[in-house]
């Protein structure tokens, strides 16, 4: 009797785990890098372009990582899966596997091994990739947004709108003060009232004082796009040029910057880089899209 109970418990845990996992249908986009790690140049052998074409063929909305992202993807990077094609070692055989990872770097899907004995590199890579993509024939992909994704997207949109409203309010107060002498003369008398109004706005949007200061005084830097690599991410600008390499740490949302005395971390919804070379210490706001 005890054995039966243990077996039932194992089955229950397995079923629970299976249904709790995300599926490929939870994601709206697939991001394809412009160069895979085993290749020497961007879109070598047109393998990256072929990957994007094949994803579109099987019903996905694929985007190269150097293209302009849709607004909903900019607001919520977790709407997309990131593509990697792995080149497996084989004796006179080309073997490729297509892997899809989510924004937490978790593998959501991995294809069967596509292989060929073709000797010409370009033909071999194309044939092996097409063979690997046969795994998507039975997937029947169809994007079905989860309630969690919809809630997160609404929250991000509302927060962004609230911040924009706050910036407009502050700008309006500044313009009013600088353009109207009478208002400027009375500003000192009503200083307490104005401060109370600004504090009330801050409370409504639930933004920390430090974040408001950043919004008012710091211009957001150019967007850096995070591309998944082994043991972390590489940040590239719109050129695209690799700006820095982030190595994972045991602490969530905290990375070590390769070859620098610095870390990148997330605090209150914003990304920062903190540097300390033993003489000087600095912290800078970053605009990273994962």
| pLDDT mean over 132-160 | 76
Question: What is the CATH T-level fold of the domain 21-138, as seen in this structure?
Answer: Double Stranded RNA Binding Domain (3.30.160)
Checking if the pLDDT of 113 tops 90, the result is yes
The mean of the pLDDT values for the chain is 81
How many C-beta atoms lie closer than 10 Å to residue 162's C-beta?
15
Q: What is the pTM of this model?
A: 0.48
> Residue 209: is its pLDDT beyond 70?
no
* Interatomic CA distance for residues 46 and 94, integer angstroms: 16
Q: Which two tokens stand for residue 176?
A: 């009013």
The span from the CA of 116 to the CA of 47, in Å, is 15
Nearest CA-CA partner of 62 in 21, 31, 88:
31
Res 151: pLDDT: 62
Tell me what pLDDT residue 27 has. Answer: 96
Q: So what's the pLDDT on residue 11?
A: 39
pLDDT in tens, 56-103: 999 999 999 999 999 999 999 999 999 999 999 888 899 999 999 999
C-alpha to C-alpha distances, 17 to 11, 109, 141, 148, 200, nearest whole angstrom:
10, 16, 21, 18, 45
For 207-222, what is the mean pLDDT? 52
Rounded to an integer, the average pLDDT of 43-58 is 96
Interval 161-193: pLDDT, tens: 667 776 777 777 677 766 665 665 665 666 656
pLDDT over 90 percentage in the chain: 48
Q: How much of the chain exceeds pLDDT 70, in percent?
A: 70
The pLDDT tens digits of the residues spanning 4-22 come to 444 434 433 443 333 335 6
């Amino acid at each position: 009797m005890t054995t039966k109970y243990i077996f039932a418990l194992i089955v229950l845990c397995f079923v629970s785990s299976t249904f709790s996992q995300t599926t490929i249908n939870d994601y709206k986009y697939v991001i394809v890098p412009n160069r895979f790690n085993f290749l020497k140049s961007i879109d070598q052998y047109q393998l990256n372009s072929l990957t994007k074409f094949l994803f579109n063929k099987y019903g996905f909305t694929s985007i190269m990582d150097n293209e302009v992202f849709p607004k909903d993807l900019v607001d919520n990077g977790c709407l997309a899966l990131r593509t990697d094609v792995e080149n497996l070692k084989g004796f006179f055989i080309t073997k490729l596997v297509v892997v899809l990872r989510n924004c937490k770097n978790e593998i959501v899907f991995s294809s069967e091994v596509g292989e060929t004995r073709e000797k010409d590199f370009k033909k071999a890579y194309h044939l092996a990739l097409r063979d690997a993509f046969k795994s998507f024939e039975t997937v029947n992909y169809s994007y079905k947004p989860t309630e969690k994704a919809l809630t997160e997207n609404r929250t991000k949109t509302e927060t962004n709108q609230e911040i924009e409203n706050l910036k407009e309010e502050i700008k309006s107060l500044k313009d009013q003060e600088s353009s109207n002498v009478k208002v400027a003369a009375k500003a000192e008398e009503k200083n307490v009232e104005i401060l109370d109004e600004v504090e009330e706005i801050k409370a409504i949007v639930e933004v920390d004082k430090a974040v408001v200061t950043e919004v008012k005084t710091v211009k957001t830097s150019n967007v850096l796009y995070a591309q998944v690599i082994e043991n972390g991410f590489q940040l590239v600008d719109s050129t695209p040029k690799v700006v820095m390499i982030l190595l994972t740490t045991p602490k969530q949302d905290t990375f070590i910057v390769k070859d620098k005395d610095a870390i990148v971390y997330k605090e209150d919804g914003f990304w920062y880089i903190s540097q300390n070379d033993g003489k000087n210490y600095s912290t800078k706001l970053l605009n990273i899209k994962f």
